[in-house]
């Protein structure tokens, strides 16, 4: 276990290094010039060159990347080109909302996805099953921008149940996390359905029924825990998928998270922020996967870590 | 002794008397109510509130409420008036400007503002280490080059005569200098606060303005509070302004309709524009005004076939501007010259190129290109710009020019435009020129002059006419206010001459439409102020306070 963890940690660091190199290279190759964004439209070529020199953007790629890595190792993510503030400060200020949104989304996707999957499996082959699977398919395919606006319009504007965008209270959290959850709950519904169908076919279920246990008891006490196991392990991996949705949903709902931060940074070629957020997200995904791998043997003793 | 050429009524009266310009402070509206708070939304983060750095249209007027400059404009107009300056003198040769400062003006930290602060603030912008986008505005001051290259400490042409007098010596007569003293980059900052916060001064702004910073929660909200010690008594009217950040325009509109906010800072989203304007109740709360903006199609004179003036003229005649204005729900007026119609110097008699497909085809035939042309049209990829580009594309197809649309992120279009042979055609939408200050010269240098036709420059047509550069310089050396008309006329001629060479096809000038809540008070022109965009925060007020 210890050696496994050690190996995985080294792998994680290598992955992060790779992510940083690739992102840095992509941003370097971008035709857009960050210096022009800083200097603005009225700047003379002399001003532009002076800023380029000061930021070290006149150096060859490897020197620039080396400098970035060096300060990264000292925990310095640099300063935003446009905002001029410390990137770490900007990310720290925006991380809590994103984590909250993610937590809310995980709760929603599990509740909705597992319930739908459970019902579909029990009613396998019926109209209910078919319509639930259609719904999950729509959920997976619907663009989140559209889902967000629809939810906003129906539940906030028309019904007035929730505030129209913003951040702060629990009721602000409901619609955005629901929007993020819609897509992944579709996946969960499908996984839960097939996992449940597998379990329901097992002999011990038949035994439980044969010894006279009620249908509900069998489902909830015998089938459900076993069917959920493989799915719980998915949550860690899910973080990566959620990250993608969060960028869109945060801008629809005015949610002050890192998705919104990076979205604005991309428009302005604010490389330090793009790098910083990419690395933090990559770290979250790597940690999520690691967590999933560690949890898996705990809930299913048949899985061994090597 | 000469005076500003600007048509400020006060300044004009002073001129008639042949005196130094006297204190012409902007008075508060006597009908205004005192107190109350408003909420304004924006989509994008407020990047910085440092006047040396901020250059977004959204933080531009926020900075104006936290800081002051020597000069400002009468609210809702383009008329220059002294602000932190009480009066000013311009020497006979137009090369020395002396400002007398108002006494008793205090920074938000309680210290009195002096001429030293004015000098420090401008030295700071010119200092290359500040990396200010406004550095170049001060290029006419003596000693600029040495300071801008970091070879000298401070700009030698700026002299503190006494604590309340400051003198600027220029290397050439500069008719735009008073405007430069009104732009944010010359707004006055206190040295001790800048040194205390360093690069974070933009998040901890301290100025002399009508408002001071109350709270800033990164990514969520910025709150301005009334400065009780503001030198201009009676201003501002509001107790506080809350800027909520990160709100999509469509969400902001819904919240306005719900009575939650007062002004959606990003305006009415295009998709909802018709709906709002068709509703009499909402339409009554929309204020429409002109904007110092021109949207244009650039044609790169280095790239065939646009190296041929006949082709460029043909493009000008091929585009149905009326129809393109309809594409954006009539939120603009067609343009026929680079200057917007509300800018001094605009030539009302100039008719421009007519929409004439037959004549355009003829011109192409004369150029020997009636066999058809294939080229690229670069455009920023956010609505409505691709739609406008498609409109242009259709019009060009009608005369045999096949333009492939390259819809890219803003920064990529700007990058292509700044390369000598990068982009044959660019539709300027989303990146178009909006004047830094209301003077005709501001539409020339960087976007049509030789100075801008450099790698990384903004002169995307790469048009460079040395004769016009000379004439521009000549016009800008007319500092004598009595000759202002003559100067404006010269500028008008420069732009008409440019249109003969047709490096641009000017398409339209955008109109502004500000939507406000029912409780907002104050003259309509405060809501379409040409300088304070979207609204003049210092002068607006709310009606529901006692």
What tens digit of pLDDT does each residue of A108-117 get?
Answer: 999 999 999 9
Model confidence pLDDT, tens digit, residues A20-62: 999 999 999 887 788 888 888 777 788 888 999 999 999 999 9
CB B328 within 8 A of CB B429: no
Q: Do A260 and B200 touch (CB under 8 A)?
A: no
Q: For residue B425, what are its two tokens? A: 């055609």
- Across the interface, whether the CB atoms of A149 and B456 are under 8 A apart is answered no
B398 reaches A (C-beta below 8 A): no
Q: What is the pTM of this model?
A: 0.86
* From A40, A85, A253, residue closest to B133, measured CB to CB: A40
Q: Which of residues 24-83 of A touch B (CB under 8 A)?
A: 30-48, 50-51, 54, 79-80, 82-83
Distance CA A181, CA B332 (A): 41
CB contact under 8 A, A85 and B202: yes
Mean pLDDT in residue range A128-141: 89
Kindly state the percentage of chain B with pLDDT values over 90.
Answer: 74
CA distance A280 to chain B (A): 18
CA–CA dist B203, B224 (Å, integer): 13
Three-class SS of residue B147?
A: helix
**Over 70: is that where the pLDDT of B2 sits?**
no
| Span B351-374, average pLDDT | 92
Q: Which residue among B135, B139, B258 places its CB closest to the CB of A164?
A: B258
Across all residues in chain A, what is the average pLDDT? 87
Q: Is the pLDDT of residue B13 over 70?
A: no
Residue B9: pLDDT band (50, 70, 90) is: very low
Segment among A82-96, A155-169, B10-24, B58-72 with least mean pLDDT: B10-24
Residue numbers of B between 429 and 448 with CB closer than 8 Å to A: 433, 436, 446
Closest C-alpha to B355, from B305, B401, B395, B406? B395
Task: Name the burial class of residue B30, with classes exposed (0-12), middle (13-18) and buried (19+) by CB atoms within 10 angstroms of its CB.
Answer: exposed
How many angstroms separate the Cα of B114 from the Cα of each of B104, B111, B526? 9, 9, 30
**Position A305 confidence tier, pLDDT thresholds 50, 70, 90:** low
- Whole-angstrom distance, CA of residue B235 vs CA of residue B238: 8
pLDDT of residue B540: 94
Answer whether residue B25 shows pLDDT above 70: no
Nearest-10 crossing angle of helices A224-232, A170-201 = 120
Neighbours of A233 (CB within 10 A): 21
- The residue among B132, B133, B275 with the most chain A CBs within 10 A of its CB, best to mutate, is B133
Across A132-160, average pLDDT? 88
pLDDT at B434: 79
B313-350: pLDDT as tens digits: 999 999 999 999 999 989 999 999 999 988 889 999 99
CA distances from B278 to A225, B250, B283 (A): 58, 17, 7
Tokens of B407: 């819809």
| Position A298 pLDDT exceeds 80 | no
pLDDT band (50, 70, 90) for residue B20: very low
Q: Sort out which chain A residues have CB atoms less than 8 A from B446's CB and list them.
A: 41-42
By Cβ distance, the residue of A83, A157, A251 closest to B48 is A83
Percent of chain A at pLDDT > 90 equals: 36
Interface check B454 vs A, CB under 8 A: yes
pLDDT tens figures, B216-248? 999 889 999 999 999 999 999 999 999 999 888
Residues B414, A84: C-beta atoms closer than 8 Å: no
The answer to whether the complex's ipTM is over 0.85 is: no
* Helical segments of B181-232, H only: 191-197
Distance CA(A288)–CA(B253), nearest Å, equals 38
pLDDT of residue A295 exceeding 80, the answer is no
Structure confidence at residue B501 (pLDDT): 96
Does the pLDDT value for residue B490 go beyond 90? yes
Number of H helices, E strands in chain B: 17, 22
pLDDT at A139: 85
- pLDDT the model gives residue B16: 34
Q: Is A232 on the interface with B (CB under 8 A)?
A: no
Provide the token pair at B493: 């001629």
Residues B26/B74, Cβ–Cβ less than 8 Å:
yes
Cα separation, B525 vs B512, in Å, equals 11
Best residue in A28, A34, A40 to probe B by mutation, most B CBs within 10 Å? A40
From B70, B66, B73, select the one nearest B83 (Cα to Cα): B70
Tell me the CB-side half-sphere exposure of residue A300, using CA atoms within 13 A. 16
Indicate if the alpha-carbon torsion angle A48, A52, A57, A60 is positive or negative: positive
The proportion of chain B whose per-residue pLDDT surpasses 70, expressed as a percent, equals 95
Question: Residue B342 has what pLDDT?
Answer: 85
User: What's residue B7's pLDDT?
Assistant: 33
**Minimal Cα–Cα distance from A104 to chain B, Å?**
20
Q: Using one digit for the tens of pLDDT, what is the confidence trace for B256-307?
A: 998 999 999 999 988 899 999 999 999 999 999 888 899 999 999 999 899 9
């Amino acid at each position: 276990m210890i050696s496994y963890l050690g190996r995985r940690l080294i792998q994680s660091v290598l992955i992060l290094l790779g992510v940083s190199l690739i992102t840095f290279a992509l941003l370097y190759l971008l035709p857009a010039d960050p210096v022009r964004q800083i200097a603005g439209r009225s700047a003379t070529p002399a001003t532009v060159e002076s800023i380029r020199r000061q930021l070290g953007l006149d150096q060859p790629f490897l020197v620039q990347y080396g400098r970035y890595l060096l300060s990264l190792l000292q925990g310095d993510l640099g300063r935003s080109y446009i905002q001029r503030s410390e990137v770490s400060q900007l990310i720290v200020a925006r991380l809590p909302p994103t984590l909250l949104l993610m937590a809310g989304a995980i709760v929603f996707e599990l509740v909705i996805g597992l319930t739908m999957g459970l019902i579909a499996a029990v009613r396998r082959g019926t109209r209910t099953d078919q319509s639930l699977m259609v719904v999950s398919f729509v959920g997976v395919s619907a663009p989140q921008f559209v889902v967000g606006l629809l939810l906003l319009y129906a539940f906030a504007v028309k019904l007035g149940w929730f505030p129209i965008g913003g951040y702060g209270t629990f009721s602000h959290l409901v619609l955005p996390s629901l929007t993020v959850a819609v897509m992944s709950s579709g996946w969960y519904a499908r996984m839960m359905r097939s996992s449940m169908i597998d379990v329901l076919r097992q002999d011990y279920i038949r035994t439980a029924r044969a010894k006279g246990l009620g249908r509900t008891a069998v489902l909830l006490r015998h089938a459900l825990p076993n069917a959920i196991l493989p799915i719980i392990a998915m949550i860690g991996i899910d973080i990566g998928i959620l990250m993608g949705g969060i960028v869109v949903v945060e801008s629809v709902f005015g949610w002050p998270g890192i998705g919104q931060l990076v979205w604005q940074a991309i428009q302005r070629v604010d490389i330090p922020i793009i790098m910083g957020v990419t690395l933090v997200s990559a770290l979250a995904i790597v940690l999520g996967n690691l967590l999933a791998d560690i949890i898996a043997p705990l809930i299913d003793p048949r899985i061994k870590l090597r | 002794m000469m005076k500003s050429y600007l048509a400020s009524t006060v300044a004009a009266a002073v001129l008639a008397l042949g005196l130094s310009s006297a204190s012409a402070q902007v008075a508060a509206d006597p009908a205004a109510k005192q107190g109350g708070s408003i909420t304004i939304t924006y989509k994008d983060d407020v990047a910085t509130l440092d006047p040396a750095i901020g250059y977004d249209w959204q933080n531009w007027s926020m900075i104006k409420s936290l800081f002051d400059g020597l000069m400002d404009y009468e609210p809702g107009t383009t008329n220059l008036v002294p602000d932190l300056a009480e009066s000013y003198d311009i020497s006979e040769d137009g090369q020395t400007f002396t400002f007398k400062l108002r006494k008793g003006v205090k920074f938000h930290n309680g210290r009195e503002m002096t001429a030293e602060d004015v000098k420090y603030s401008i030295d700071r912008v010119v200092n290359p280490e500040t990396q200010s986008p406004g550095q170049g505005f001060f290029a006419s001051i003596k000693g600029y080059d040495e300071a801008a290259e970091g070879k000298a400490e401070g700009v030698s042409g700026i002299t503190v005569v006494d604590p309340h007098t400051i003198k600027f010596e220029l290397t050439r007569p500069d008719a735009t200098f008073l405007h430069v003293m009104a732009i944010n980059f010359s707004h006055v900052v206190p040295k001790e606060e800048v040194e205390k916060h360093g690069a974070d001064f933009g998040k901890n702004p301290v100025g002399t303005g009508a408002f001071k910073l109350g709270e800033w929660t990164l990514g969520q909200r910025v709150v301005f509070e009334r400065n009780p010690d503001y030198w201009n008594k009676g201003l501002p009217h509001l107790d506080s302004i809350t800027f909520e950040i990160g709100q999509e325009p469509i969400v902001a509109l819904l919240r306005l309709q719900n009575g939650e906010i007062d002004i959606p800072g990003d305006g009415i989203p295009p998709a909802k524009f018709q709906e709002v304007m068709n509703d009499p109740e909402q339409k009554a709360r929309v204020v429409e005004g002109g904007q110092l903006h021109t949207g244009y199609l650039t044609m790169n004179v280095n790239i065939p076939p646009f190296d041929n003036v006949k082709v460029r003229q043909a493009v000008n005649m091929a585009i149905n501007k009326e129809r393109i204005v309809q594409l954006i729900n009539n939120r603009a007026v067609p343009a026929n010259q680079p200057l917007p119609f509300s800018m001094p110097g605009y030539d009302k008699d100039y008719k421009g190129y007519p929409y004439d497909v037959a004549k355009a085809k003829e011109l192409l035939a004369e150029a020997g290109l009636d066999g058809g042309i294939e080229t690229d049209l670069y455009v920023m990829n956010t609505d409505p710009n691709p739609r406008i580009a498609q409109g242009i594309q259709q019009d060009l197809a009608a005369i045999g020019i096949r333009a492939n649309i390259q819809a890219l992120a803003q920064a990529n279009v700007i990058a292509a435009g700044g390369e000598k042979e990068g982009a044959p055609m660019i539709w300027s939408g989303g990146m178009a020129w909006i004047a830094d200050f209301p003077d005709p010269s501001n539409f020339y240098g960087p976007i049509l002059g030789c100075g801008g036709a450099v790698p990384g420059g903004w002169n995307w047509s790469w048009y460079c006419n040395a004769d016009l550069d000379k004439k521009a310089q000549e016009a800008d050396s007319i500092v004598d206010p009595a000759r202002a008309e003559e100067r404006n006329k010269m500028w008008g001629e420069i732009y008409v001459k440019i249109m003969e060479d047709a490096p641009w096809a000017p398409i339209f000038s955008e109109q502004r439409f500000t939507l406000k809540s029912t409780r907002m008070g104050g003259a309509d022109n405060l809501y379409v102020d040409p300088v304070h965009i979207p609204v003049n925060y210092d002068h607006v007020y709310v009606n529901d306070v006692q």
